[in-house]
Every structure is written in structure tokens, then in C-alpha cells.
Amino acid sequence: MYTMMSIRIYLISLILFISCIDLSDDDNQRNNTLPIQTSFKVEDFSSAEECAGCHPQHYAEWSSSMHAYSMVDPVWLKQQNMQQAHNSVNGIEIGDFCVQCHSPVAGLTNLIENHIDLTNDVINSLPAQVKEGVTCDACHLTTHLPSPTNISIDNHNYETTEFKLYSSDTRYGILDNPIENDFHKSVYSSDYDKSEFCQNCHNLTVDNRDAETTQFEWEGSAFQAMGVECQTCHMPLYSGKAAITGPDRDNLHRHFFPGIDEALIDFPRKVEHRVALEDLLLTAAEINLFETPPDTIKSDTVWNARLIISNNTGHNFPSGTSFPRQLWIEVFAIVDDDTLLASGFLDARGDIYDFYIDPDRNIDPQLNIFNTILYNTEGDSGLLKVSVENMVEMVNNTLPVSDSRIVDYSIQIPSGMNGQLELTARLRFRSFPPFYLRHLGLESLIENVNIFDIDAISETVYVSSN
Ligand code: HEC
Ligand code: HEC
Ligand code: HEC
Ligand code: HEC
Ligand code: HEC
């Protein structure tokens, strides 16, 4: 899997459309006789509202999820418009490139006419199935497992996300002996329990170079070997009714799909989504002292405090769109009123002194942040510059799957010092840094971004001048 600093070429360019999805590639997973549809109308998909009456629990959870948010997500909307404008200046049409995963119904039906100035008003005028982003039927009409997505800049082939759906009055799922209802037939499919189910959207390569590779990170890991799928962690089991008229069942799956994001605008059930998110993040990683510190440290020496951070997620941490994420360590070493070390602290605007704010590492030289950075030939970042097609490399500093990282903090103990040194460290995580939202012109949303403290330690060491 990944090495600590695997440098991978990244070249995402933004790109374009093609209405017909290649479905010639037969499902080789198993001999599945269910049909696959090749062209779609909006009416082939029902709105989630139509499911709500009989599946209130599933609807409620899904409606708080990022899947329901993906087409009205203001960060997404800004980014997609910037990518469109940038490419258009260079004579390139990227069409449904972003839409295809963020609103499969819009992508599959070519419903968006003007991609350049996609506004909330335009989105609000679209049919519900489109506004609903990754809506129920984008998943529950799936008849075969899709492949991961590779787009090609070289071949100008940009709208390649595969959907193996068939629209009929049947919905597929994992229930044994589903009871009948007037709206749809129910058919069991074991595919819904597998990670591959998610990979058309959750694994993106660009001319076969890694871009957002959550599925690839999971593949070959101990989690795969143990049968711990994406659904195991992101759709945990509970007992209840799958439908209001149905029997009690003990194998239902939560539909909150927590990750790191929370809706930054008014959105249903934020409180419930936060609880699901906190439950997930509680397990995400651990921070510990790697070496037991000595009972006493002499003054006028340098103490090297070693921390170990272990990743417990089913993939790298962060994963997917890891470029804007911030996962970092905040460390303080304090003796009475003297701060001997401070790292990972926030400035007055809520930023940390990372690559973007402090490229020369003058202010916080010991900062440890685990993310990916995209560079072009001038060294500029891909996060702030839209010209991602000019990317020449991606530095991957995420925590690798099933692995840990050891980091050192050197703490200079002044001469003549006596007292108790309090060392505290927190592993902190947030979806977006303030500078990025300011850059997008979304500063009013900054206050809605929460920082989650994944784990923390504190340790007391004695400092003596004798
Ligand atoms: C292959 C499917 C796919 C394509 C194509 C795609 N995305 Fe995404 N996008 C995703 C997935 C999946 C996530 C969630 C991943 C994560 O949170 O790590 C995501 C997350 C994002 C986010 C972060 C959203 C948030 O609120 O945290 C932004 C912004 C975004 N995408 C913008 C874009 C833009 C702009 C494009 C087109 C240039 C695009 N995406 C194309 C699948 C895709
Ligand atoms: C008229 C009520 C009704 C409506 C409307 C309805 N369903 Fe269902 N659905 C049911 C019942 C009843 C079951 C079976 C529940 C059980 O046996 O526990 C079911 C089962 C399912 C299953 C499990 C299928 C399986 O075999 O595992 C899925 C998935 C599903 N529905 C999705 C949807 C979606 C998506 C919509 C909206 C497009 C929807 N349903 C609309 C009543 C309904
Ligand atoms: C062992 C549990 C586990 C498994 C298995 C797992 N995840 Fe996660 N996932 C987590 C945790 C914990 C987080 C929060 C930390 C993070 O962002 O990585 C997370 C975060 C995410 C995110 C947000 C990542 C980000 O940083 O923006 C996405 C998207 C995601 N998972 C998708 C998947 C997919 C797709 C699979 C299957 C290939 C999967 N997960 C398998 C536990 C798991
Ligand atoms: C991103 C894909 C996705 C979306 C969107 C989605 N589901 Fe599901 N759903 C699944 C998967 C996958 C399973 C089975 C999970 C497993 O077996 O591990 C499932 C299971 C179900 C089941 C079977 C009972 C259970 O809880 O396992 C029902 C009913 C259901 N979903 C209804 C809905 C409804 C209604 C919506 C929209 C309001 C919806 N789903 C949205 C992927 C999705
Ligand atoms: C049709 C495309 C599609 C499919 C299929 C899909 N997802 Fe997603 N998923 C997305 C997009 C797009 C986002 C990000 C939306 C946003 O934030 O704007 C997302 C977000 C998520 C997140 C939240 C990430 C975060 O940063 O908080 C998780 C977790 C997740 N998906 C898990 C899954 C799992 C598990 C499956 C399979 C059962 C799945 N998804 C199937 C498109 C998809």
C-alpha cells in the first residue's frame, strides 16, 4: 500500500461529457441475468419523497447525509463553477464531469444545459430526483456491481462513471423474504453488502493515476480480508422495521453515511447526523506516547517527545477528497507560565500554519498535518489554483490504512528550570480550513465548520536543574 510519503503523479483535469455510458463491459463478478439499462429519462427514477411514506426511517437518515447534500453543497457548487470557467477559457468543455457522481440522475439524463453558471436557482428549478443528489434510486436500481472510475485527459474521455442500473418497478436490497407492497417488487442482491458497490463514485483515477482512491486503499487491507466492507462502518446495523408495514428485523442498515462533512447550510437533521459522525470518529485513530518519558528531564537539554498515531479507519485517513481536509496534531509543552512548545494552534482567523499559510514553516516548524498536497511546476497548490490539469505531483502525507506514524517534537528545556512539564496533544480533524472557504468566497460558512478531536493525551514530566 502507501509508503509514508509516496509521491504520486496527479493530473486531474476537468473535463467533459459523453452521454452514453459504456455498458458493454459485462459483469464478471457472477452470472447475473438482471438487465442493465443504457439510456435514461428523469421519470425512470422516483424521488426520495416517494419512498418516505413507507420507509420513514431510511428517508430521515438519508436526508441528513452528504449523499442528499451533494447537489446543493455550496462548496461543491463553487468548485464546479470555477472548474467549468477555467476550462472554458482554455476551450475545453467539461460538461457533466462533476455532476455525474454528485447527481447521477442529472448526469444520466443530460438535464443540465448550462454548466458554466450553475446556480442555486437553476438547481432548485430541476426535478426532485436531480436536486436530491445521490438519491435512493441511484443506488437501489443497481443490478450489477460497477467498476471504479478512470477518466482520461489523454483521450478526452471525462464522463466515464459507470452505473449499472435497471429502472423498473423493482427495488433491490438485502432483505430475506421481503413482504409485498403496492409500489415496488423487492429482490435480494448480495452485491449491496460489498465495498465494490460504492466504487464507481468512491474511486477516481485520472489516466490511471491515483486521485481519490478510497476503494483501492481498502483493497488488500486486513479489513477486506476480514470482510469489513464500507457498509460495515458507514452503514452500521440496527433493529427496527425496514418499512412501516414490514416485520421487525435485526439486520437493517443506517443511512446517515457519516464521514467528516456536515452540511454547512440549513439542512435536515443536523443533530442526528452529528451524533452518527461522532460515533464514527470516536474509532478513527489513536494518539499515544511512543516512548515512556523519563521521570525527570534535566534542564538545558532537548527532550524529544515521540508520539505515535494509529489509523483505525478502513482506508487512509483522510481519504477521498483529502486535499482540503485537515487532520493535524496540536501539541503544547508548558512549565508553569512558560510555553516551551506550541504546535498546531489556530491563528486569529482559525487557520493553522500549514503549507498554505506558512509555506516556509517559519511560524510552526514542527507542525504535523496528514493530508495530500497537489503541486504544479511553480509549486503552487492545487487547492487554491483551479488549474489542476497542470498538476505534476501529489504528495501523500495521509495516515496509511492499518498503519501508524511516529512523529517527533523537540522541546528545548531552558537552563535553570525546575517544575512540572505538562505535555498535551490532540489529534484534530476538520473538513475545510477557513482560508479555503475564504478563497471560495464562502467566509460566512466558516463558523459552521466543526473541529473534531479524535483523540488526546496528557503527560506530566518533572524538570530539574540538578
Ligand atoms: C467519480 C465520482 C466523482 C466525480 C467525477 C467528482 N466527484 Fe466530487 N466527490 C465525490 C465523492 C465520492 C466525494 C466525497 C469524498 C470524501 O468526502 O472524501 C466528493 C467530494 C467532493 C467535494 C467535497 C465536498 C464536501 O462538502 O466536503 C467537493 C468540493 C467536490 N467533490 C467537488 C467536485 C468537483 C468540482 C468535481 C468536478 C471537477 C467533482 N467533485 C467530481 C465523487 C466525485
Ligand atoms: C407503499 C409502500 C412502499 C413504498 C412507497 C416504497 N417501498 Fe420499499 N419496501 C416496502 C416494503 C413493505 C418493503 C419490504 C419490507 C420488509 O419486508 O421488511 C420494501 C423493501 C424495500 C427494499 C428492500 C428490498 C430487498 O429485497 O431487500 C428497498 C431497497 C426499498 N424498499 C427501496 C424503496 C425505495 C428506494 C423507494 C422509493 C423509490 C421505496 N422503497 C418505496 C414498501 C414501500
Ligand atoms: C473500519 C471502518 C471503516 C471502513 C471499512 C471504511 N471506512 Fe470510510 N471512514 C471510516 C472512518 C472512521 C472515517 C473518518 C475518518 C476519515 O475521514 O478517514 C471514514 C471516512 C470516510 C470518508 C470521508 C473521508 C475524508 O477524509 O474526506 C469516505 C468518503 C469514506 N470513509 C468512504 C468509505 C468507503 C467507500 C469505504 C469502502 C471502500 C470505507 N469508507 C470503508 C471508517 C471506515
Ligand atoms: C449510496 C447508496 C444508497 C442510497 C443513496 C440509499 N441506499 Fe438504501 N441501502 C444501500 C445499501 C448498500 C444497502 C444494504 C447495506 C448492506 O447490506 O450492507 C441498503 C439497504 C436499504 C434497505 C434494506 C433494509 C436495510 O436497512 O438494510 C432499504 C429499505 C433501503 N436501503 C431504503 C433506502 C431508501 C428509502 C433510500 C432513500 C431515502 C435509500 N435506501 C438510499 C445503499 C443506499
Ligand atoms: C452515485 C455516486 C455515489 C455512490 C454510488 C456512493 N456515494 Fe458516497 N458520496 C458520493 C458523493 C458525491 C459524496 C460527497 C457529497 C458532498 O459532500 O458534496 C459522497 C459522500 C459519502 C460519504 C461522506 C463523506 C464525508 O466527507 O463526509 C460517505 C461516508 C460515503 N459517501 C459512503 C458511501 C458508501 C459506503 C457507499 C456505498 C454503499 C457510497 N458512498 C456510494 C457519491 C456516491
Domain limits, the chain: 7-281, 285-464
Length of the chain: 466
Cα 218 from Cα 230, distance rounded (Å)? 9
Cα 380 from Cα 353, distance rounded (Å)? 16
**What spacing in Å lies between the alpha carbon of 214 and ligand 4's midpoint?**
20
Q: For ligand 3, is residue 234 a contact (CB within 6 Å)? A: yes
Q: Are strands 452-464 and 296-298 parallel, antiparallel or unpaired?
A: parallel
The long-range contacts involving 333-340, CB below 8 angstroms and separated by at least 24 positions, are 333/305, 333/409, 333/411, 333/421, 333/422, 333/423, 334/421, 334/422, 335/417, 335/419, 335/420, 335/421, 335/422, 335/463, 336/419, 336/420, 338/414, 338/417, 340/411, 340/412, 340/413, 340/414, 340/421
Please state, in angstroms and as integers, the Cα–Cα distance from residue 354 to each residue in 317, 344, 370, 377, 388, following that order: 17, 9, 10, 20, 20
Name beta bridge partners: 306: 408
pTM: 0.95
Residue nearest to atom 18 of ligand 5 (CA): 70
Helix (H, G, I), strand (E, B) or coil at 408: strand
Substitution candidate for ligand 3 out of 233, 278, 328, 396 with most atoms within 8 A of CB: 233
Residue nearest to atom 20 of ligand 4 (CA): 173
**All cell numbers assigned to 77:** 457548487
Residue nearest to atom 30 of ligand 3 (CA): 259
Q: For ligand 1, is residue 101 a contact (CB within 6 Å)? A: yes
Are 392 and 435 contacting, i.e. CB atoms less than 8 angstroms apart? no
**All cell numbers assigned to 325:** 481536509
- Digit-by-digit pLDDT tens for the chain (466 residues) are 333 323 232 223 222 222 233 333 343 344 578 899 999 999 999 999 999 999 999 999 999 999 999 999 999 999 999 989 988 998 889 899 999 999 999 999 999 999 998 999 999 999 999 999 999 999 999 999 999 999 988 788 889 999 999 999 999 999 999 999 999 999 999 999 999 999 999 999 988 888 899 999 999 999 999 999 999 999 999 999 999 999 999 999 999 999 999 999 999 999 999 999 999 999 999 999 999 999 899 999 999 999 999 999 999 999 999 999 999 999 999 999 999 999 999 999 999 999 999 989 999 999 999 999 888 888 777 788 866 677 778 889 999 999 999 999 999 999 999 999 999 999 999 999 999 999 999 999 999 999 999 999 999 999 999 8
DSSP H helices, 219-325, are 222-225, 230-234, 270-281
What angle, 0 to 180 degrees and rounded to 10, lies between the N-to-C axes of helices 56-63 and 270-281? 80
> Considering only the top CATH level, what class is 285-464?
mainly beta
**All cell numbers assigned to 433:** 480550513
Cα 124 from Cα 378, distance rounded (Å)? 40
